[in-house]
Amino acid sequence: MPIRYEASTAYLEGVCTVEEAMDIQDWLRKTDSPEIDLADCTHFHTAIFQVLSAARPRIASRPKDVFLAQWITPLLSGDDGDAQGSDG
């Protein structure tokens, strides 16, 4: 299971595929102040990126993967004014 859900933290590990998008979306909806741990994530699908981009959970741990760390997580944690998910 590439995404491990624990209390308020989701651990994304390895390659997270398009199938996970719905799950993490559900989890983010139901979880209060969710956090995600990307440390061991090597890639996540664009669909998951969309969910994360909409929900903006706190990133508990940054990815080791260079591409994710350099280009993707800044887009998710940044304060670049993208519409914040209105689920809160």
CA gap 37, 39 in Å, rounded: 6
36 binds another protein (CB under 8 A): no
Q: Which of 2, 12, 55, 73 binds another protein (CB under 8 A)?
A: 55
CA gap 2, 56 in Å, rounded: 20
Phi and psi at 11, nearest 5°, equal -100, 115
CA gap 44, 12 in Å, rounded: 8
Q: Which of 41, 51, 63, 73 binds another protein (CB under 8 A)?
A: 51
Q: How far is the CB of 35 from another protein (least distance, A)?
A: 16
Binding site for another protein (CB under 8 A): 18, 21-22, 25, 28-29, 43-51, 53-55, 67, 70-72, 75, 82-83, 85-87
